[in-house]
């Protein structure tokens, strides 16, 4: 299996760290992680995709992981969407895009608003135009909590994560966790993302009901305009995407294919990786077997 660490260019020339796993000649699958994550969130998924005959390209979104931070603080949803369009248009063929949470919203806007026809298919991972406000605030509230003060040690960060995801238990403090932390000159450990990113997100979530309704309508209209194969994967125990949200998406985009992964939360990839990989691979093979998938 071929693995290469590289970089791709996002909108405006911003440099985004990326990893390519699998045969470069195979059907490309572009993976966009959720807010506060990195390309490591897809580590097992990329191997599964490569073994299924696809070429997986996982990248760090702007302001995350090893990617560049925006000097202008450009972290609106459309900024992430324009990065996806920029990456896709430079590829040899249209990629299938898999986007979790923030990555899914970016994919929805990229294909549905900015540049229809950029992708071969789109998989939304526990995200939809209609989102539960309490679930959204739980996610972004966790991200905001220690963004300025950081942690005294990786062990302290591990305790905070365990409190946020009690169903998984306490994680270790090895290389996996340290990849999400940066030790600064003051000796404290900080999340890897640009603080300006979470400030933008929090400002948007605390905006007026009119602005939030406008966002909902924009996302709904984007979904309604989609003609490419569309797949929604929901965590069965998600507090962010409700069954009502699923019904709404399937009303505005009736061709949506839907997978519910029982017991998984909003962090569906990490909660149920095997079931998640099986769901996306089955969808991709159904729609893209004739586009370079190895049997």
For 249, residues 6+ apart whose C-beta sits below 8 A from its C-beta are 124, 128, 129, 130, 223, 232, 256
Q: Rounded to whole angstroms, how far apart are CA atoms 196 and 272?
A: 31
Query: Which residue would you say has higher pLDDT here, 221 or 208?
Result: 221
Per-residue confidence (pLDDT) for residue 166, from 0 to 100: 73
Q: Is the pLDDT of residue 27 over 80?
A: yes
From the candidate CATH numbers 3.40.50.1820, 3.30.420.40, 3.30.30.60, 3.40.50.300, the one assigned to the domain spanning 3-132+210-291: 3.40.50.1820
The answer to whether 201 touches 143, Cβ cutoff 8 Å, is yes
**Sorting pLDDT into bands at 50, 70 and 90, what band is 295?**
very low
User: What one-character-per-residue DSSP string does 246-272 give?
Assistant: HHHHHHHSTT-EEEEETT--S-HHHHS
Q: Can you say whether residue 156 is alpha, beta or left, with left for phi > 0 and alpha for psi between -120 and 50 degrees?
A: alpha
At 12 the pLDDT is: 93
Give residue 3's pLDDT.
83
pLDDT given for residue 167 in this prediction: 65
Q: What percent of the chain has pLDDT over 70?
A: 93
User: Is pLDDT above 80 for 240?
Assistant: yes
**Can you tell me the mean pLDDT for 172-201?**
84
The overall average pLDDT reported for the chain is 91
pLDDT of residue 180: 86
**Side-chain half-sphere of 278: how many Cα atoms within 13 Å?**
7
Angle between helices 209-224 and 243-252 (to 10 degrees): 50
What mean pLDDT is predicted for residues 246-264? 97
The full set of domain ranges for the chain reads 3-132+210-291
CA dist 81 → 78, 157, 199 (Å) = 5, 30, 18
Q: Locate the DSSP E strands across the chain.
A: 3-9, 15-21, 28-32, 55-59, 96-100, 121-125, 181-183, 189-191, 230-235, 257-261
pLDDT digit string, tens, across residues 46-62: 999 999 999 999 999 99
User: Could you tell me the pLDDT band of residue 291, with boundaries at 50, 70 and 90?
Assistant: low
Confidence of residue 172 (pLDDT cuts 50, 70, 90): low
Residue 289 CA to residue 247 CA, distance in Å, equals 29
In the predicted structure, residue 293 carries a pLDDT above the cut 70:
no
Give just the sign of the alpha carbon dihedral 192, 195, 200, 205.
Answer: positive
Q: Distances in Å between the alpha carbon of 96 and those of 57, 119, 120, 179, 281?
A: 10, 6, 5, 27, 11
pLDDT value of residue 177: 79
| pTM of the predicted protein model | 0.92
211 vs 29, residue with greater confidence: 29
CA distance between the termini of the chain: 15
Residue 294 pLDDT > 50 = no
d(CA 28, CA 93): 8
Candidate from 61-65, 134-138, 177-181 with smallest mean pLDDT: 177-181
Strand 28-32 to 189-191 pairing:
unpaired
73-111 confidence digits (pLDDT tens): 999 999 999 999 999 999 989 999 999 999 999 999 999
Q: How far apart are CA 274 and CA 240, in angstroms?
A: 22
Distance CA 163, CA 145 (A): 12
Q: What is the pLDDT of residues 3-18, one digit of tens each?
A: 889 999 999 999 999 9
């Amino acid at each position: 299996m071929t693995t290469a660490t590289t970089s791709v260019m996002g909108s405006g020339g911003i440099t985004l760290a990326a990893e390519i796993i699998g045969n470069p000649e195979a059907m490309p699958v572009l993976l966009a992680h959720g807010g506060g994550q990195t390309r490591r969130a897809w580590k097992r998924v990329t191997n599964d995709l490569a073994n299924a005959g696809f070429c997986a390209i996982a990248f760090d979104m702007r302001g995350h992981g090893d990617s560049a931070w925006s000097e202008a603080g450009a972290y609106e949803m459309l900024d992430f969407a324009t990065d996806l369009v920029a990456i896709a248009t430079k590829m040899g063929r249209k990629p299938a895009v898999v986007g979790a949470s923030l990555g899914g919203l970016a994919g929805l806007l990229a294909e549905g608003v900015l540049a229809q026809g950029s992708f071969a298919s789109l998989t939304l991972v526990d995200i939809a135009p209609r989102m539960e406000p309490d679930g959204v605030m739980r996610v972004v509230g966790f991200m905001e909590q220690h963004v300025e003060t950081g942690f005294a040690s990786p062990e302290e960060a591990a305790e905070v994560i365990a409190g946020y995801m009690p169903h998984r238990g306490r994680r270790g403090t090895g290389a996996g966790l340290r990849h999400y932390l940066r030790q600064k000159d003051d000796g404290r450990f900080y999340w890897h993302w640009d603080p300006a990113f979470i400030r933008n997100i929090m400002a948007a979530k605390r905006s007026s009901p009119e602005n939030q309704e406008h966002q909902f309508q924009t996302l709904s209209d984007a979904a309604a305009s989609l003609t490419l194969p569309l797949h929604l994967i929901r965590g069965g125990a998600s507090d962010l995407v409700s069954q009502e949200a699923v019904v709404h998406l399937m009303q505005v985009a009736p061709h949506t294919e839907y997978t519910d992964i029982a017991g998984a939360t909003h962090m569906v990839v990490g909660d149920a990786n095997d079931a998640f990989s099986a769901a996306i691979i089955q969808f991709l093979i159904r729609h893209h077997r004739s586009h370079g998938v190895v049997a």
